[in-house]
Structure 1
Amino acid sequence: MAAQTAPSQQTDRQLRLLVGLVACVALGVLVAALVGVAYTEFSSGLAVRVGALALIIAIAGVTYVRVRIRSTNHDISWTDSAMLVAVVMLPLPWAVLATAVAVTIAKSIHKLRGIKFVFGVAKESITCGLAGLILTAAGGVADRPLDSLGPLALAYAGLVLADDLIAIPVLALATGTSVKDRFLSNLDLTWASAFVRFAVAVLALAVLAEEPGLLVAIPLIVLSLQLTYRGKLRARAERLAWQQLAEATDAMNVVQMETVLHTAVRNGARLFSAETVEIDVSLDGAQQLVRGTHQGITYHGAPDEAAVDARTTAVVPLIGEPDGERVGELRLCFHVPVALSEREQFTLRAFAGALCTAIRNATSYAQLEQLAGQHQHDATHDLLTGLPNRRRLQLEAEDALDRRQRGRGVTALLVLDLNHFKDVNDALGHTAGDQVLITVARRLEEAAGSEALVTRLGGDEFAVLYRGLPAPALAQHRAENLLAVLHEPVDVDGMPLVVSAGAGVAVAPSRGGFVELLRRADIAMYQAKRTGRVVAVYAREDDTADRGRLVVGGMLPRAVAEKEFTLQFQPIVDLAGGEVIGAEALARWQHPDKGMVDPRSFLEPIERSGLLTAFTDAVLDQALAGAARWRELGCRWPVAVNISPRSLLDRRLPALVTRRLDDHGLPGDALVLELTESHTVSQLDIVDKVLAELMELGCAIALDDFGTGYSSLSVLPRVPATELKIDRSFVMQMENTPSSAAVVRSTVELGRHLDLLVVAEGVERDSQRRLLWDLGCTAGQGHLFAKPMPLAEILDLVGAGDGTVRLAEPLHDPKAVVRLPAKRSPGRAARQSGPTGAAGGGRVSDSTA
């Protein structure tokens, strides 16, 4: 049994002092009674009355109702009723002595000893004397007791109140409860039973006034009433016990183990009136011992090895249902041996069962909480290195960005990627690679300090979040110092490996949040790798990402389906005479909400999407429809259409071109397909068949933007091209840059030797036109002649002409003899089926005019 605590020892001392005070007062009352007896006349009738009433009081004291509080039993009886009868029928001194003798006999029969015996006799002696004094002061009792109900009620009320005023402080001190709580406890039952006992006393007095000889029958009446009262009090105690049990078990319906155990200890001590309650939990991972009283917990920690005294401790094993798992023990500890009643034993088993269930539930909840915490940790941490992961980085960065908006320093992000890490995995295996990652993670975390957040984004990529920096420039300084920790070789199974990294730093943007911050740091990191630097800081000029293309890419499917793409046509002219010899179809996108969309923003997304074939078909359809219209007006210009190199990988392209030519009743030579140089075009094994079929249709092939693409010279001899188009960048710079003029001259010479028509793009000034002519170029297009225009305007030009559409004045008088430069050729005229202009079937530049 647990040792008696210091508070219990203090309580015992206080009880002794209080009982001693009561005993001293009682001694004074008894001395006064003895003095009074000496001055009272004694007779045989008085002796009979004294003996009979003493017997009644003794019987009432023996037939009590016992209530146990902790280790102490408290007896409730009809003694007060008998004492009121004695006070009325006997002189006060004899009534006090009779009460003292009777109570002494009753307590002796119950084998009470020591402080309990003294307190019981003293309390009853005092209350009897007080009742007699109140009755005497109220004028006594008339011959008919019913005529003196007022004095009797005052005397009885004084007796009951005196009994409570003496007993309740002692009980409150013994139980550790407040005097107020003890007084209010069962107040209704206390005064109801007091009223019944008062009524019985008055009735007994009335009967004895009429027939004094019936005094000998009063003990039987008192006995029967006492038994009835005891039954009612026991029933009420049963109901109260079950109510307290229900409240105690309900209080344990929580999921925190500490709350369950502490609540069970306090309620158990209160429910079973135990000095101390112990709960010893023996479940794996939850072993603990809780000890306490109804007032609070005195110990909560590891189980001790103190021996349990079976005589003063009620031990109940806690066995789980239905598996029979031993959960622990519940112990009720008393100062002295206590025998629990049958009702208390049943209540104890029910309480233990509820406690066992509550402990197992709390244990399960703790395990689930631990598992949930582990899952939450795993959700925000990298399993290999233990570092926070990308999700945790985002949460912390968003919080830091929010604080930054409130003026709490600069937020910056460092993203680093290990160089040649794949070589480590390939050469030494993934286990060695994991060791490298773990070592790098540990070094970065130690070097970064507690203020920075080091995370692993995945693979060999790490990130470090800096928060609250005083200045943006400090981010690069810290990043350089941080990467210095990687200079020391990493030991992998005895092999030193040198690890290096490229890193990018970005300061939090004013808009875009974490996503934009991470994107900028990524761009800076790749810039560092490209330039060979260790750390690069994000610079806007290095940011080539185009979000607009992503937006445009999302709008393309609807644009193709709704036929929002239209064509404009830019004439191609003979540089010498200024006559139109063809027209290039240029795709335009008229968005219903955004208006005209820049072609540079949608052409590349179309090539990467699955809409390329549908887009090509729509452009061919409109372009050939326009060619058919101006042919109806007498102009046989071919129309040039740009074809994506990816389209050459589509075996259906020749069939598509054939279908559209047939739809508009045009021959193959009405169409020029312009191809941009690319790696795809150079893979002739793949595109040879497609190009051959297009040539069989009579379509001309033009190489667009010649000189700017992939391996121009290697492509040219193998592609069945009929035209070369000089890129506008060379035309724009040829007047001021000798190298550009040399490229133009070389391209013209190349075209002359291969018998190809050379067309210059981007001709905007007359000086450029004349220089191109001097260099040997015979055809061009650009704003000098005409901007791209809708089909209607092209048709207006054709309709206003006389068979020839001239957009610029000739460079020379038609009747003058023009001296051509050395090795000058008018260009290829392989498709001449008529004169240039309205009757010409091919795109030819005749410079002999």
Structure 2
Amino acid sequence: MTAVPVNGSNVGATRASGPGALVRRIGLRVLALGVVAIGLLHAGGRLDGVLPGTPAPDVHPSLAAVAAVMLITFCAQILQVRIRTGRGEVGFAWGEAAVVIALFFLPTGLLPLVVLVGVLTARLAQFAGHKYVPALRTIGTFRVRTTVYQALSNTAALTVAAGVGATVAVSLGLRSHPALTPRVAAVLTVSALLYCCCSLTLVAAQLSARGVQRFRPLIWELAWSKAPIAVGNVVIGVAALAILSVDANWLLALPPVLWLLHLTHSYRLRTDDERRTWQVFAQTTRELNHLDEEQAAAAGLRGAQSLFAAERAEIAIDGLPGGLRTFDIDKDGVVGRNGTVTPARAAAAIRPLLVGGAPVGELRLYEGTQVGERSALMLAAYGDALAAVLHDAATHAELRALSERRTFDAEYDGVTGLANRAALLTRGAAALGGLDAAAPVALLLLDINHFKEVNTTLGHAAGDDVLRAVGERLSAARVQDELIARLGGDEFALLLTGAGATLPAALAHARHLAGQLAQPTAVAGVQLSVEASIGVVAATAGAVDMTELLRRADIAMYQAKRGGSSVDWYDPDRDDASTDRLALLAELREALAGEGQFDLLLQPLVRLKGGRPTGVEAFVRWNHPRRGTLKPVDFVRVVEQSELLGQFTRHTIDRALDVCGQLAAQGTPLAVGVNLSPRSLHDRDLPADIARMLARHGLPAYRLILEITETVVLSEDAVVDDVLRALRDQGIQIAVDDFGTGFSALTFLTRVPVDVLKIDRTFVNRMVDSPEALAIVRTTVELGRELGIQVSAEGVETAEQRRVLEKLSCPAGQGFHFCPPVSTERLLEVVRTTPGEPMRRLRAAE
């Protein structure tokens, strides 16, 4: 048996190109013909005495004997078992047995000629049978297509191998028709095995040169599969000679034995082939795991080429976003992307790529493809895996694009493409932190004059065009190390660092910008001149933060508007609150770092019918060591405009939850309400931090009520909705404070799901004497009842106000009529009443 390349993506069907390949191809065939010629000369006695160790044969065979041995060689080459290797398929024949018989009965010099004729006729029979007799394509060796080129290459390789075997036999002194002695059997065995080794080497070299597989792993794979078969073939050949020497009739028992041995070889090789094939399948499916579509398609094409011996493969994707696109791989394993698809009729196999029944595309295999019944199942499984990977890659690409858009939207203005307020604060803080404390910084705050008239007269689309034009001109006039941002509305900010951040340089740059913006521009078919007021502030990096820079620039900008000039600068003498504000900010930082300066006063929320408390609201008081007791109005605005807001908010909520825990411990589990700044709703970490505080205090989420104002609805930032949604999902209650005083109360209720509406105290105080205020209170109570939202009244001061609220069926209220804000200890006494009894009312003096 010998190794024969019968088919494959590059085996026989594809010829190597180039001068070197041409020389190798012709050289092997010329060498084969030379080996045959030398053998004939030796068989005719022409080399007697010319070459050492080459005695002339003592017996001249008959033509019938030569023909019989050629027939045996033909039959040995026709009967094959095949294995897949790399992108090709290799067949093992009974060549060693034929070599043993030929060396025994014929002069050794005729062996190359016998092998040449026997192999060539067998290969041409395979070629003709597959091409012209369709019925043979499913039988044995005819199942795989061969070519004339492949037949010639294979014949040349085996002829040269036969020459090697014959040379070894001659050198060991073998003559034709010898007696079958142990020495003769040994010589025949060695010659046949060397023929096997030489044929394996030549065939592996051919396959490696054609790109089927690298030579070293290929020769080891072939040798591992071939070794037991070659030994068995030699044993069969020697056994046949032994039987013939004893009694030729016993040869009738040899065909069944040969057939059983052939089945055994076939089963073993098929089992090894199955194992290798599924190993390759597992490896190729593992290599599909890529989140990039092009990488996944390339891995899919290489895997298809390896699994199904496809000379060329193609993936057409038309069921995913992005339109039709194709990837293909050629016979050299080069993957490319093109915009055309080969007609489907040219494909040897097509596998639709589906995910959940939805089409993704098609996998198409072309020349050299082998897809039998078993491979069809493998192709189906491989196609499903490839479809899933391509679908996942497309999904990942969409998620990545969505994430990039969300990141862009979080940091950039959607109209102008400039950085937004959040990005200005973040990048500006990083820029200030990276500078020396004495380094100059400047901020220009620009506000477009009469911008509202543009929106009103020409429409909002024209207003957006104006904003884009302003952004483009600011970008065109950008100086080095300048950060430009649109803060919202018609406000822009420019942060300057470096040499251009001194006050004279910043003022000069601001005046230049004002002049550039005043240049006429066409908007909606109208020539407009954009006028702007620019406030300039200059400071050192260690003296201010971004919030303070914006505050000062805002003051300077309004000074420019009031003064009728286009540019003005910040003057500390015109900002009485500046020094005091900075000092208060530093004192606030110290107070938060220490203990004991912040207290909570708590005011009960009372059910109007029955007088029982239903909750409490927390109010912060700052026991300042120098300024005395400060109410929120004295310091909350400073907190909201600083980076301390997050720390202050968490401190207040934690203290309120501690009070809530004390109330629950004494048997009065009441919810506690805390006012939340609108700016806190831009803090994505707040919901998770509150969840940890609730867990630490062992309280359910519904015991916390976060009170927000209607101004939240004016924010267009998606982060506000995300934070509110995260808080609601935890079970935290959301209350609307001062309801009715905002710009769009009803719109607010449609956007933000809330649990409590707190009627503003201005309506409660006026409802006894004002029909309009009474109507608003009545409408709010009815609205809450219809929407299933709790309603409470703030600022209930008198018994008459309470009676009116009860008549309107308002469920609850809070105010000095029931209890003023008191300390935690006093609150515990107030609500510690006998169940069923109303809460004892307190006066402010108590």
Which residue identity lines up with residue 310 of structure 2 in the other structure? A
* 1:255 counterpart residue number: 291
Q: How does 1:139-218 map to 2 (within 5 A)?
A: 140=174, 145-146=181-182, 151-152=187-188, 154-208=190-244, 210-211=246-247, 214=250, 218=254
* 1:29 counterpart residue number: 35
Q: How does 1:441-480 map to 2 (within 5 A)?
A: 441-448=471-478, 452-469=482-499, 472=502, 473-480=504-511
Is the Cα contact below 8 Å between 1:280 and 1:328 reproduced in 2? yes
**Structure having the higher Rg:** 1
Q: How does 1:8-407 map to 2 (within 5 A)?
A: 10-11=16-17, 17-39=23-45, 50=66, 53-66=69-82, 74-111=90-127, 114-138=148-172, 140=174, 145-146=181-182, 151-152=187-188, 154-208=190-244, 210-211=246-247, 214=250, 218=254, 221-283=257-319, 284-293=321-330, 295-303=332-340, 307=343, 310=346, 313-325=347-359, 327-334=360-367, 340-401=371-432, 403-405=434-436
Query: Does the residue aligned with 1:253 lie in a helix, a strand or coil?
Result: coil
The alignment's TM-score, normalised by the length of structure 2, stands at 0.58
Displacement of 1:51 after TM fit?
A: 5.3
Is the Cα contact below 8 Å between 1:50 and 1:95 reproduced in 2? no
Displacement of 1:461 after TM fit?
A: 2.0
Query: Does the residue aligned with 1:180 lie in a helix, a strand or coil?
Result: helix
Cα 1:486–1:200 shift into 2, 3 Å: same
Cα 1:562–1:469 shift into 2, 3 Å: closer
Is the Cα contact below 8 Å between 1:58 and 1:105 reproduced in 2? yes
Which residue identity lines up with residue 234 of structure 1 in the other structure? R
- Looking at structure 1, the residues matched to 551 and 307 of structure 2 have their Cα atoms a distance apart, in angstroms, of 66
Which residue identity lines up with residue 197 of structure 2 in the other structure? L
* 1:830 counterpart residue number: none
Cα 1:508–1:259 shift into 2, 3 Å: farther
Displacement of 1:83 after TM fit?
A: 0.7
Cα 1:475–1:8 shift into 2, 3 Å: farther
Cα 1:527–1:73 shift into 2, 3 Å: same
Which residue identity lines up with residue 232 of structure 2 in the other structure? V
- Looking at structure 2, the residues matched to 607 and 162 of structure 1 have their Cα atoms a distance apart, in angstroms, of 99
Displacement of 1:59 after TM fit?
A: 1.9
Displacement of 1:375 after TM fit?
A: 1.2
- Looking at structure 2, the residues matched to 275 and 146 of structure 1 have their Cα atoms a distance apart, in angstroms, of 49
- Looking at structure 2, the residues matched to 251 and 329 of structure 1 have their Cα atoms a distance apart, in angstroms, of 19
Moved more, 291-300 or 235-244: 291-300
Which residue identity lines up with residue 362 of structure 1 in the other structure? A
Query: Does the residue aligned with 1:275 lie in a helix, a strand or coil?
Result: coil
Displacement of 1:279 after TM fit?
A: 1.4
- Looking at structure 1, the residues matched to 66 and 209 of structure 2 have their Cα atoms a distance apart, in angstroms, of 36
Displacement of 1:258 after TM fit?
A: 0.7
Moved more, 205-214 or 393-402: 205-214
Displacement of 1:152 after TM fit?
A: 4.9
Which residue identity lines up with residue 348 of structure 1 in the other structure? L
Is the Cα contact below 8 Å between 1:135 and 1:152 reproduced in 2? yes
Moved more, 21-30 or 503-512: 503-512
* 2:750 counterpart residue number: none
Moved more, 282-291 or 111-120: 111-120
Cα 1:218–1:85 shift into 2, 3 Å: farther
Cα 1:456–1:195 shift into 2, 3 Å: same
Cα 1:11–1:268 shift into 2, 3 Å: farther
Query: Does the residue aligned with 1:484 lie in a helix, a strand or coil?
Result: helix
Cα 1:405–1:276 shift into 2, 3 Å: farther
Moved more, 417-426 or 172-181: 417-426
- Looking at structure 2, the residues matched to 532 and 418 of structure 1 have their Cα atoms a distance apart, in angstroms, of 13
Deviations along 1:280-306, whole A, 9 cap, x unmatched?
A: 2123414212122364435313235x5
- Looking at structure 2, the residues matched to 364 and 499 of structure 1 have their Cα atoms a distance apart, in angstroms, of 47
Query: Does the residue aligned with 1:320 lie in a helix, a strand or coil?
Result: strand
Cα 1:211–1:170 shift into 2, 3 Å: same
Displacement of 1:321 after TM fit?
A: 3.6
Displacement of 1:256 after TM fit?
A: 0.9
- Looking at structure 2, the residues matched to 514 and 85 of structure 1 have their Cα atoms a distance apart, in angstroms, of 98
Is the Cα contact below 8 Å between 1:290 and 1:297 reproduced in 2? no
- Looking at structure 2, the residues matched to 120 and 109 of structure 1 have their Cα atoms a distance apart, in angstroms, of 14
Is the Cα contact below 8 Å between 2:317 and 2:362 reproduced in 1? yes
Moved more, 423-432 or 534-543: 423-432
Cα 1:402–1:300 shift into 2, 3 Å: farther
User: Which of the numbers 581, 584, 590 marks the counterpart of 1:549?
Assistant: 584
Which residue identity lines up with residue 333 of structure 1 in the other structure? Y
Cα 1:420–1:218 shift into 2, 3 Å: same
Cα 1:86–1:515 shift into 2, 3 Å: farther
* 1:503 counterpart residue number: 535
The alignment's TM-score, normalised by the length of structure 1, stands at 0.58
Which residue identity lines up with residue 267 of structure 1 in the other structure? G
- Looking at structure 1, the residues matched to 354 and 86 of structure 2 have their Cα atoms a distance apart, in angstroms, of 28
- Mark the runs of 5 or more structure 2 residues left unpaired by the alignment: 1-9, 46-55, 129-146, 602-620, 637-764, 766-846
Displacement of 1:97 after TM fit?
A: 3.7
Q: How many residues align?
A: 568
- Looking at structure 2, the residues matched to 58 and 115 of structure 1 have their Cα atoms a distance apart, in angstroms, of 19
Which residue identity lines up with residue 394 of structure 1 in the other structure? L
Is the Cα contact below 8 Å between 2:77 and 2:93 reproduced in 1? yes
Displacement of 1:70 after TM fit?
A: 9.9
- Looking at structure 2, the residues matched to 12 and 212 of structure 1 have their Cα atoms a distance apart, in angstroms, of 53
Displacement of 1:387 after TM fit?
A: 2.4
Is the Cα contact below 8 Å between 2:116 and 2:159 reproduced in 1? yes
Query: Does the residue aligned with 2:495 lie in a helix, a strand or coil?
Result: strand
- Looking at structure 2, the residues matched to 11 and 406 of structure 1 have their Cα atoms a distance apart, in angstroms, of 71
Cα 1:450–1:212 shift into 2, 3 Å: farther
Is the Cα contact below 8 Å between 1:54 and 1:101 reproduced in 2? yes
Query: Does the residue aligned with 1:382 lie in a helix, a strand or coil?
Result: coil
Which residue identity lines up with residue 285 of structure 1 in the other structure? G
- Looking at structure 2, the residues matched to 359 and 258 of structure 1 have their Cα atoms a distance apart, in angstroms, of 9
Of all paired residues, the percent bearing the same amino acid is 27
Query: Does the residue aligned with 2:192 lie in a helix, a strand or coil?
Result: helix
Deviations along 1:775-798, whole A, 9 cap, x unmatched?
A: xxxxxxxxxxxxxxxxxxxxxxxx
- Looking at structure 1, the residues matched to 241 and 436 of structure 2 have their Cα atoms a distance apart, in angstroms, of 92
Is the Cα contact below 8 Å between 1:413 and 1:464 reproduced in 2? yes
Is the Cα contact below 8 Å between 1:448 and 1:482 reproduced in 2? no
Deviations along 1:167-201, whole A, 9 cap, x unmatched?
A: 12222223354323432334422334333334444
Displacement of 1:77 after TM fit?
A: 0.6
Displacement of 1:379 after TM fit?
A: 1.0
Is the Cα contact below 8 Å between 1:70 and 1:272 reproduced in 2? no
Cα 1:143–1:405 shift into 2, 3 Å: farther
* 1:641 counterpart residue number: none
Is the Cα contact below 8 Å between 2:455 and 2:463 reproduced in 1? yes
- Mark the runs of 5 or more structure 1 residues left unpaired by the alignment: 564-588, 611-685, 687-849
Displacement of 1:361 after TM fit?
A: 1.8
Cα 1:445–1:121 shift into 2, 3 Å: closer
Cα 1:396–1:209 shift into 2, 3 Å: farther
Q: How does 1:724-743 map to 2 (within 5 A)?
A: none
